[in-house]
Amino acid sequence: MKIDVVTIFPNLIDSYVGESIIKRAMSDGKIEINVINLRHYTDLKHHQVDDTVYGGGAGMLLMFPPFHRVLKERMKENTKVILPSPKGKKLTQEKLKELASEEHLIVLCGHYEGIDARIEHFVDEEISVGDYILTGGELPALILIDGLTRLTEGVLSEKSHEEESFTEGLLEYPQYTKPQEYEGFTVPEVLVSGNHEKISKWRKYIALKETYLKRPDLLKTKDLTLEEKELLEIIKKEKD
C-alpha cells in the first residue's frame, strides 16, 4: 500500500512514521508513506497557502489551487482520496480493513478553518475519527496510517490481529506479564494455571464483561454464540 499525506506541517507526520512499527514496515517495503509539503505547490509569495473566507467569517481557509496541483501530479487510476473531517463517517476497524485493500491513498490534511470546498470534487471519502474538533487533519491522518500499517500483510502476526479489540466484535481481555506479584498487585491465578481450556474460557468471559460494561453498543450488532449468551447472562446477574 502507498499513502500520500498532504500537509502544511510535514514534520508532524515525519516524526511519527519515523519510529517503531511504522518505520520498520517502511524499511521492509511493506508500506510506502510519502509526506507532501503543500507549500511546495503554491505560486504565491512566502509559500502562502491560505487566505480569508469569501462572504466573511473567522479564521483562514486553505486554498484550492495547491491541493489541485498535488492531486493532478499524484492521482492515478487506483487512487482513493481521503479527507479527514468531522462531517465524515466515523472510523471503525471495519473501515480500516476496507481501506487496507486499496493500493493508493491520498490523505488531505486541512487546517485553520479547513479547505476550500472545491476540493470536494476530488474527495472519494470523508472520514471522522470522532465527534470533536481538532486543529488540523494531521492527527487523523496519523491514526489512519497507524491503523492501516498494522493491517498490512507481514507487519504483524496473524495471531496479533485475531486477539485484538473489535476483531471479534468485543473489547480485548486484559493481559499481564512478569512479575506475577508486585507490592500486592497480582496476576489472576487462572493465567498461571497452565490449563489452556480454562484460560480460553476466562478470556472470553472477561472480554464479554469488558464489552458489556464499557461498550454495550457493540453487543447490539454481534451475533453471539450459545456459549457467549450463557456467559453474558452470568455477567448480567453479577452486575445486578
Give the 3-state secondary structure of residue 87. Answer: strand
SS3 27: helix
102-141 confidence digits (pLDDT tens): 999 999 999 988 999 999 999 999 999 999 999 999 999 9
Query: Please, which pLDDT band fits residue 168 given cuts at 50, 70 and 90?
Result: confident
- Report the pLDDT value the prediction gives residue 96, as an integer from 0 to 100: 97
Question: pLDDT value at position 239?
Answer: 81
Peptide bond into 179 cis (omega under 30): yes
Q: What whole-number distance in Å separates Cα of residue 99 and Cα of residue 36?
A: 20
More confident residue, 113 or 40: 40
Q: Which domains does the chain have, with CATH numbers?
A: 2-157 (3.40.1280.10), 181-239 (1.10.1270.20)
Across the chain, where does the E strand assignment appear?
2-7, 32-37, 50-52, 60-62, 79-90, 104-108, 125-128, 181-182, 185-186
Looking at residue 115, what DSSP letter applies? B
Q: What is the pTM of this model?
A: 0.85
- Using CA atoms, how far residue 148 sits from 61, 142, 206, in Å, is 29, 10, 27
Average pLDDT over residues 90-98: 96
What mean pLDDT do residues 204-224 have?
93
Average pLDDT, rounded, for the chain: 93
Closest CA to 9 of 57, 49, 53, 44: 49
Instruction: Report, as an integer, the average pLDDT of 64-90.
Output: 97
The three cell numbers locating residue 35? 509526506
DSSP 196-229: HHHHHHHHHHHHHHHHHHH-GGGGGS----HHHH
Q: Residue 8: which of 136, 142, 146 has the closest Cα?
A: 136
High-pLDDT (> 70) share of the chain, %: 96
Residues 51 and 89: their CA atoms lie apart, in Å, by 28
Kindly tell me if the per-residue pLDDT of 156 is higher than 70: yes
Q: Report which DSSP code applies to 101.
A: T
Which residues lie below 8 Å from residue 165, measured CB to CB, with a gap of 6+? 171, 172
* Per-residue pLDDT band at 166 (split at 50, 70, 90): low
Reduced to 3 states (helix: H, G, I; strand: E, B; else coil), residue 90 is: strand
- Whole-number pLDDT of residue 163: 55
53-67: average pLDDT: 92
